[in-house]
A and B are shown apart, each in its own frame.
Chain A
Amino acid sequence: MNPSLLELVAKKLTATPPDVQGVRRLVLASCHSAGVLQRALEESEFEPPTAASRQKGSDAPDVWLSSLVIKGFRGIGAPMKVDFEPTPGLTLVLGRNGSGKSSVAEGLETLLHGDCSRLKDKPAEWKKGWANVHWDGAVEIEAEFRLEGQSECAVATRRWESGDEIDSADLELRSLGSRGESAFPSRDLLDKYRPILSCGQLGRRLERRPADLYDELAGVLGLHELVDAQNALRTERVERKRRCEQLEDGRGALLETLSGSEDARVVTCREALLQQPWDLDAIGAVLEGRSDSTDELNRLRLGAELEIPSTQALDQARIELQTALVRQKAADASDAGEQRKLAKALREALALYEHMGEGPCSICESDGVWDEAWRSRAEARMRDADAAAAEAHKLAEEVRTLATTVGELSSFLGSEELALAQHLDVDPEHIQAIAAWLATQKQDGSPSRLAAELKDAAPSLLRAGAAVRAAAVKELNQREEGWRRVVDAVRQWLPRARAAVTADEAGAVERLVEAEDWLKTASSELRADRFAPIAQEALKLFQEMRENSNVSLREVSLAATGGRTRRRVQMRADVDGEGGTYPALSIMSQGELNVLALSLFLPRMMLAEAPCRFVVLDDPIQSMDPHKVDGLARVLGRIAERRQVIVFTHDPRLQEAIDRLGIAATYLQVTRLPSSAVEVRRTSSPVEKYLEEANRMLEPEVVRDVGDEKLRRIVPGICRLALEAALQRSARRRLHADGKPSEEADRILAKAKAAIALASLTLFARADRGSEVAAEFVERYGDCGRAYEDVNGGAHGNYDGALKQLVRNTRNLTRRLEEKS
Chain B
Amino acid sequence: MTAASRLLRHARECLDLEVLGGELRLRACALLARQGLESAVAASLRELGVEGCKLAFRTQLACLRHLAPPTLRVRRVSYTWVALSHVTHYHGYEMPPTAEAMENWLTEAEVLVAMLQGAGHAAA
Contacts and interface: CB of A to CB of B under 8 A. Distances in A.
Q: Do A and B bind each other?
A: yes
A819 interface: no
A706 B19 contact: yes
A797 B35 contact: yes
A673 B31 contact: no
Contacts of B13: 710
Contact of B19 (A686, A705, A796): A705
Interface in A679-725: 679, 681, 686, 690, 693, 696-697, 701-702, 705-706, 709-710, 713-714, 717-718, 720-721, 724-725
B38 A796 contact: yes
Interface residues of B, number: 31
A721 B95 CA distance: 13
The DSSP consensus for interface residues of chain A is helix
Interface string B86-104: 0011111111101110000
A603 to B, nearest CB: 28
Interface of B: 7, 10, 13-14, 17, 19-24, 27-28, 31-32, 35, 38-39, 57, 88-96, 98-100
B98 A672 contact: yes
The list of the 10 closest CB pairs from A to B, nearest first, reads: A652-B93, A724-B90, A717-B31, A671-B22, A656-B93, A96-B95, A714-B28, A655-B93, A725-B90, A705-B19
Contacts of B39: 797
A570 interface: no
A98 B98 contact: yes
29 contacts: A96-B98, A99-B98, A652-B92, A652-B94, A653-B92, A656-B93, A659-B93, A671-B99, A673-B99, A681-B23, A693-B24, A696-B20, A696-B24, A697-B20, A697-B24, A710-B28, A713-B32, A713-B35, A714-B28, A717-B31, A717-B88, A718-B24, A718-B28, A721-B90, A796-B35, A796-B57, A797-B7, A797-B35, A797-B38
A710 B11 CA distance: 9
Interface in A66-111: 94-96, 98-99
Given A702-B19, A706-B19, A709-B10, A728 B92 contact: yes
Contacts of B88: 717, 720-721, 795
A681 B100 CA distance: 19
A293 interface: no
Contact of A713 (B7, B17, B98, B99): B7
A646 to B, nearest CB: 18
B121 to A, nearest CB: 23
Nearest to A681: B21
A504 to B, nearest CB: 74
B92 A656 contact: yes
A739 interface: no
Interface of A: 94-96, 98-99, 650, 652-653, 655-656, 659, 669, 671-674, 679, 681, 686, 690, 693, 696-697, 701-702, 705-706, 709-710, 713-714, 717-718, 720-721, 724-725, 728, 753, 755, 795-797
A693 B26 CA distance: 12
Given A709-B10, A721-B90, 13 more contacts: A671-B23, A671-B99, A674-B99, A690-B90, A705-B17, A706-B14, A706-B20, A710-B13, A710-B14, A721-B88, A721-B89, A724-B89, A728-B92
B13 to A, nearest CB: 8
Contacts of A669: 23, 96
The DSSP consensus for interface residues of chain B is helix
A95 B22 contact: no
B56 to A, nearest CB: 10
Contacts, number: 102
Contacts of A713: 7, 10, 31-32, 35
A710 B32 contact: yes
A710 B10 contact: yes
A77 to B, nearest CB: 14
A681 B31 CA distance: 22
Contacts of B31: 713-714, 717-718, 795
A717 B26 CA distance: 13
A687 B88 CA distance: 14
Contact of A718 (B27, B93, B94): B27
A304 B81 CA distance: 134
Nearest to B88: A717
Contacts of A686: 90, 93
A796 B58 CA distance: 13
Contacts of B28: 706, 710, 714, 718
A592 B90 CA distance: 30
A809 B7 CA distance: 26
B32 A728 contact: no
A443 B39 CA distance: 165
A673 B21 CA distance: 11
A650 B95 contact: yes
A795 B33 CA distance: 12
B55 to A, nearest CB: 12
Nearest to B103: A674
Contacts of A721: 27, 88-90
A655 B90 CA distance: 14
B22 to A, nearest CB: 4
A655 B92 CA distance: 9
B77 to A, nearest CB: 16
B99 A714 contact: no
B17 A706 contact: yes
A208 to B, nearest CB: 32
A505 B22 CA distance: 79
B22 A681 contact: yes
Contacts of B35: 713, 796-797
A95 B95 contact: yes
B91 to A, nearest CB: 8
A718 B26 CA distance: 12
A98 B100 CA distance: 12
A673 B27 CA distance: 14
Nearest to B101: A96
A51 B57 CA distance: 77
Identify which of B38, B39, B98 gathers the most chain A CB atoms within 10 Å of its CB: B98
B96 A671 contact: yes
Contacts of B99: 671-674
Contacts of B20: 696-697, 702, 706
Nearest to A749: B92
